[in-house]
Structure 1
Amino acid sequence: MNEKWIIGEVAKLFGVSTDTLRYYEKAGILSAHKDKANGYRYYSYDEIVVLMDTLFFRNMELSIKDIKQIVTQMDVGDIKRILYQNQRVVEDRIQELIKLKKMINQVASHYEACEQHLGEFVLVPAPSFKYKLLEKQADDLVDMIRKYKKEDWGWLDSIRYTLLVSQEELLKNPSFRSARVGISLDEENLYRLDSLEQQELSSLNGAEYLYTIVGTSYVEPEHDVLSKALDYLKEEGRQVKGPLIGRYMASSHKDGLDYYEVWIATDNS
């Protein structure tokens, strides 16, 4: 019966590299022996058993430090505690992955909407989100990040960068060149702001809004989709009765465009 196996045989048997086996040796988990006759390094039957346990626990993503303690000094009670600790870590990761999946789905749906509904017009009820304008214009994005980036919640998927074009400016020059900037939050995220700041938020009032999706470079002297939106309202026998509110959705850096979903307050003529 073979009672020793050279490092290459063991690596091939367990589907790991020889570097991995040497790493386990250096970490104090495995002990290699040396054949004095030929100078080859080999592992004994006991080391094979230790390696099997090491790979088993590594598959559960236990750290090398914990595995070394498991195979050198822990009894079953200690090992049980290590496993339960790791279980809690995994549960936390699962919750993080669920949040990540939700965010990916949300952002992907924004890009899909931009692709499929760009420049389409529909009349919709007033949306339920609330918004406020920021005081500064030049460094608005940086100021927003400084103020609202918090470690305890995902500000990127809770706060939406928002533009406002006044009714007067929209009718005079349908573009984003005169837009003021702000933030907006859906109702389920309002609790993230303190009560004082919640009072600073405004709602969109009115019976119906024209809704569309636009892409802008912010410098167009006249935005084609906004001009068409105003024509659409005239054809529908409606008048603009409030500002344009745009909420950021997506960006295409290749095209130099940011995409917004846009609401324009309307009323029957």
Structure 2
Amino acid sequence: MYTIGHVAKFLGVSRDTLKFYEEKGLVKPKQNKENGYRKYNRFDIYDITTVNFYREMDIEIKKIKELRKSKSIEGIKSLLEEKEQKVLEEIEYKKLLLRKIQIVKEDCEKIKKFLGEYTVKEMKPLEIKGEIEHFTAFDEYETLKENTDSLKNAITLTSLRRVIRFNDEGILEDKFIIVRKVNDTHEENEGEILSHPKCMYTIIEDGRWSTGGKNIDHNVEASLRRVAIEKGYELLGLVYINLLLTTYEEGLEHVFLEMYVPIK
């Protein structure tokens, strides 16, 4: 027979864990009625190591209790297959999460390189999943969430684009679209595909820290026209804006916007 201290030491678990197993009915050591001391036999040791075995695989206590009642080899196999599927789904989720983290790191480098600079870049293909005619059209958000490919089924920075259509007289249209990056141009897509092989590209600052909360649309439009004239580009009257990153300075948001401006 073994004391709780002995069992805790050679099985590498805490006394609290052993007491928890006892409270859940997973192990039932004999208890001295006079002094309350517990005594564990070899079958209790088997029970504890079995519980630890399943807990290492993150099997829930409820499922382990079911195993204790009655479970055939096939039943155990079925339980493990169920857990296997959950683990595979978690792995896929973690892969997506890791990729999104890497993308944001890449965006940080992009900001350092292109902030305030103008270059020519391709806007890679995007599939339109839905659109909001105006940012106050809240009733349209739920429909769009159903079409997003984000980890948490929410509209996120990587899926939202602001689209501005303009001519020589000014801004004609301003809306938001929900998009999905198209990795394979040959894959089947349900929505319209946006693709512009040649764009003026830059990153600008927005937010209350850098602009004092003022609307900078017209200033940005004027800058785009000026740069286009200097470089001899013909604008197509479209701007696609992606919110790359938001930081905070003195409690005020400091926003970095990525802009693709299609040109001929």
Could you state the TM-score of these two structures normalised by the residue count of structure 1? 0.74
1:108-144 deviation digits (Å, cap 9, x = unpaired): 433432243222211234653366863334x14x345
Q: Distance in 1 between matches of 2:72 and 2:262?
A: 70
Cα deviation, residue 148, structure 1: 0.7
Q: Distance in 1 between matches of 2:166 and 2:32?
A: 85
**Cα 1:127–1:95 shift into 2, 3 Å:** closer
Aligned Cα root-mean-square deviation (Å): 3.5
Gaps of 5+ in 1: 173-177
Instruction: Indicate yes or no: 2:174 matched with 1:180.
Output: yes
Instruction: Indicate yes or no: 2:228 matched with 1:238.
Output: no
Q: Equivalent residue of 1:238, what SS?
A: coil
Match in the other structure for 1:252: 247
Which aligned pairs between 1:136-175 and structure 2 lie closer than 5 A?
136-137=134-135, 139-140=136-137, 142-150=138-146, 153-154=149-150, 156=155, 159-164=159-164, 166-168=166-168
- Are the counterparts in 2 of residues 214 and 259 from structure 1 also a CA contact under 8 Å? yes
Instruction: Indicate yes or no: 2:257 matched with 1:263.
Output: no
The one-letter code sitting in structure 2 at the alignment partner of 1:182 is: F
- Are the counterparts in 2 of residues 165 and 243 from structure 1 also a CA contact under 8 Å? yes
Identity %: 22
Q: Equivalent residue of 2:101, what SS?
A: helix
Which aligned pairs between 1:93-242 and structure 2 lie closer than 5 A?
93-125=90-122, 127-129=124-126, 134-137=132-135, 139-140=136-137, 142-150=138-146, 153-154=149-150, 156=155, 159-164=159-164, 166-168=166-168, 180-186=174-180, 188=182, 198=191, 203=194, 208-217=198-207, 219-221=214-216, 228-242=223-237
Q: Distance in 2 between matches of 1:191 and 1:146?
A: 24
The one-letter code sitting in structure 2 at the alignment partner of 1:245 is: Y
**Cα 1:99–1:233 shift into 2, 3 Å:** same
- Are the counterparts in 1 of residues 148 and 180 from structure 2 also a CA contact under 8 Å? no
**Cα 1:72–1:108 shift into 2, 3 Å:** same
Which aligned pairs between 1:46-125 and structure 2 lie closer than 5 A?
46-125=43-122
Cα deviation, residue 61, structure 1: 1.1
How many residues are matched? Answer: 249
Q: Distance in 2 between matches of 1:106 and 1:88?
A: 27
Q: Distance in 2 between matches of 1:125 and 1:153?
A: 23
Which stretch of structure 1 is more off in the superposition, 12-21 or 49-58?
Answer: 12-21
- Are the counterparts in 2 of residues 184 and 247 from structure 1 also a CA contact under 8 Å? no
The one-letter code sitting in structure 1 at the alignment partner of 2:4 is: I
Could you state the TM-score of these two structures normalised by the residue count of structure 2? 0.75
Which stretch of structure 1 is more off in the superposition, 73-82 or 149-158?
Answer: 149-158
Which stretch of structure 1 is more off in the superposition, 178-187 or 108-117?
Answer: 178-187
Task: Tell me which protein shows more helix as a share of its residues.
Answer: 1
1:10-60 deviation digits (Å, cap 9, x = unpaired): 223333222221221121110022235643122122101110111011101
Q: Distance in 2 between matches of 1:39 and 1:265?
A: 80
Q: Equivalent residue of 1:211, what SS?
A: strand
Which stretch of structure 1 is more off in the superposition, 151-160 or 232-241?
Answer: 151-160
